Structure 1
Amino acid sequence: MKQFISKFVLVILGGIFQGFGMGLFLFPNYIPSGGAGGIAVLIHYWFGMNIGLALWLVNASMLYFGVKILGKRFALWTILGITVTSISLHIFGQTFSPNRILWFDVFAGSIFLGTGIGILMRQRVSNGGIGILAMIISVRRNILPGKPLFFVNIAIFLLTAVVIDWKIIILAFLSQWISTIVIDQICQFSFWRTYTLNWRKK
C-alpha cells in the first residue's frame, strides 16, 4: 500500500509538472512538447479544439500499443498520468501573459516538461502519445527512454513547422534537447530506487 500511494503521488506530480511546462510556457508559443503535443497543437490550430482535450485524445489513441506490449497495469497508470497532464494543461493554459519572453519560456517550459516526463518514466509510466513508443523502444533495447523520445518526435516537429511556422522547428529542437537531458538525468538519479528497463508485462 505504501508503494502504491508513493507511485500514485509521483504520477500525479509528474502530470502536473508536465502540464505546467506545456500550458504556461510552451503551448502559448505554439512550441510542441513532443509528438503528441505537436499533433495536439496542430488539431488546436486547424479545428480550434481545446488543446487539453486534443492532447488527451491523441494520448489515449496510442494506449493500444502500450497495452499489447507493456501490459494493462501500464495502461491504467498512463491514463492517470495523461489525464492529470491534460487537466493541468487546461488550468495553467488559462494563465496567459501578453508580455512573453520567448527564450525564457522555452527554457523554463522544457525544464518542467522534462521533470514531469522523467518522474513518470521513473515510475514506469509513459507520458502518453509518442512517449509510449519511446518506452517500447527502451524496453526492447534496454536503453534510457530520453533519446528514443527525442528522435521519434523530430518528424512531428517538421510537420508542425511546415504548417505553422518554420522557426518552431528550432525552438522545438532546443526544447527537446533540454527536456531529454532532464529526463535521462532523473531516470538515473541514485537517491531513488535503482532504475531498470527490464519491466514485466502485467
Structure 2
Amino acid sequence: MATFIGSLLLGIGVNGFLVPNHLIDGGILGIALILHYFFHFQTGITMVALSLPLCLYAAKDKRGYFFSSLQGLLVSSLFIDLLAPLRSQIFVSHLSSALFGGVIIGTGVGLMLRYETSTGGTDLLAKIISRTFSVNIGLIIIVIDGLIVLASSTVLALDSFLYSCLAITTVGLTTSLIEGN
C-alpha cells in the first residue's frame, strides 16, 4: 500500500507542480525531467532506464529491498506517465509549485522509504549510504539532488534553477520527517 500511495503522490507532485513550471527534482527523476524538457522523452520510462543499474547493484546488497525497490520504481514510473495530463490542469506560481510539489513528492518518497521500498534511483542509493554511514537520509537526498540540480544550472533559466533548489530542499526535509530517521 505504501508503494501505491507513495507513487501516486510522486506522480501528482511531478506532473501537477514541477513540470508545469519547468522545475526539476534531483536524482534520477531530475535527470529524467531534464531529458523530458529537452528531448520530450517520457519521464517514467526514462526513470526506469536510468535506475536499473542502481537496482541491480542493490540486488547484491539486499535482495528483498531490491525487489521492493524495483516494484516501487515500476509503479512510480507508471504513475508519473499516467498522470501526465495533470501538467495542464494545475496552475500555481513557481514558489507554490516548488513548495507544494516538494512536500507532495517528499511525502511520497518518505512513505515509501519508511516501509522499506523506494523509487529505485538515487533514493535507493541514499538509503544504502544512510544505513552504511549512519547519516540522515534527508541530508543525503539533498546533497545528491543538489549536485544534479547544480549540474543542470547551465540548461535551466535562473528562476527555474532557484525554485528547483527550493523544491529539492523541501523534498529532502519532508522525506526526512516522513521516513522517521
Compute the TM-score of the two structures, normalised by the length of structure 2: 0.90
Residue among 23, 32, 37 paired with 1:40:
32
Residue among 82, 87, 98 paired with 2:78:
87
Offset of 1:31 from its aligned partner?
1.5
Partner of 2:115: 123
1:55 is the counterpart of 2:47? yes
Structure 1: gaps of 5 or more residues: 1-8, 189-194, 196-202
Partner of 1:142: 134
Offset of 1:139 from its aligned partner?
0.9
Alignment of 1:142-181 (within 5 A): 142-181=134-173
Offset of 1:68 from its aligned partner?
2.3
Distance in 1, matches of 2:44 and 2:74, equals: 9
Distance in 2, matches of 1:174 and 1:164, equals: 14
After superposition, give the CA deviation of every residue in 1:54-92 in whole Å (9 maximum; x if it has no partner): 1222222321222222x1211111111111211211122
Instruction: Write 1 or 2 for the structure with the bigger share of helix.
Output: 2
Contact 1:23 1:88 in 2 (8 A): no
Query: Judging changes above 3 Å, is the alpha-carbon distance between structure 1 residues 140 and 98 closer, same or farther for their aligned structure 2 residues?
Result: closer
Q: Which structure's CA Rg is the greater one? A: 1
User: 12-21 or 42-51: which moved more?
Assistant: 42-51
Offset of 1:137 from its aligned partner?
0.8
1:16 is the counterpart of 2:8? yes
Contact 2:146 2:168 in 1 (8 A): no
Q: Specify the SS of the correspondent of 1:161.
A: helix
Offset of 1:168 from its aligned partner?
2.5
The residue type paired with residue 11 of structure 1 is T
Partner of 2:22: 30
Structure 2: gaps of 5 or more residues: none
Partner of 1:68: 60
Q: Percent identity?
A: 22
Offset of 1:142 from its aligned partner?
2.1
Runs of 4+ in structure 1 deviating by more than 4 angstroms, as ranges, are none
Distance in 2, matches of 1:18 and 1:98, equals: 15
Contact 1:161 1:167 in 2 (8 A): no
The residue type paired with residue 18 of structure 1 is L
Q: How many residues align?
A: 180
Offset of 1:126 from its aligned partner?
2.3
Compute the TM-score of the two structures, normalised by the length of structure 1: 0.81
Distance in 2, matches of 1:147 and 1:98, equals: 30
Contact 1:25 1:109 in 2 (8 A): yes
